Amino acid sequence: MNDSIKQKAGRIRLVLTDIDGVWTDTGVYYAESGELLKRFSIRDGMGVERLRERADVETGIVSGENSGAVIKRAEKLGITEVHLSIRDKVAVLDEIAKRRGLGPEEIAFIGDDTNDLAVMQAVGLAACPADAIASVKSAADYICENRGGHGAFRDFAEFIISSKIGEVQ
């Protein structure tokens, strides 16, 4: 891994994440009444906890979707920055950074599709799951070994923890 990418990761204080395609495998179960289920990896949740406890890094969600399942998952993990139905992710990034007194170099984003490209280019460290689309992989500083919904967020979290404090899981 490139030393400059590790240096970028060492400055991170907040990780923002898309959900569908990062925390999920892009699949969703629909019933006549609408969205029914999303599958989340428990390991990604542990990544949120480890970032907070081991590296003093918080996590926030910025997603174009609006899902009750995402709200419940965020509540369980103690994630307070939850922004759903977002079309302009850069505007939300700017608002969060200003409110929290963070510079772009202190914020990371992990996404998987074209609607994540602009925000990935606006942060200090950009990542994507192994199965992200090609243009997102090209924009990422860090490409996770794992696919979306199968521990990609945890992979990224461990990279940041290792870069900040030298701890390897």
Q: Is 151 helix (H, G, I), strand (E, B) or coil?
A: coil
Q: Which of 154, 92, 85, 164 is nearest to 123 (CA)?
A: 92
pLDDT band for position 167 (50/70/90)? low
Q: What is the overall mean pLDDT for the chain? A: 94
pLDDT of residue 168: 65
Secondary structure (DSSP) of 83-101: E-S-S-HHHHHHHHHHHHT
Q: Which of 26, 104, 90, 40 is nearest to 62 (CA)?
A: 90
Tell me what the mean pLDDT of segment 138-143 comes to. Answer: 98
- φ, ψ of residue 161 to 5 degrees: the values are -60, -50
For the record, the structure tokens of 60 come out as: 């926030």
Tell me what the mean pLDDT of segment 146-168 comes to. Answer: 93
Query: Could you report the per-residue pLDDT of 90-137, keeping only the tens digit for each?
Result: 999 999 999 999 999 999 999 999 999 999 999 999 999 999 999 999
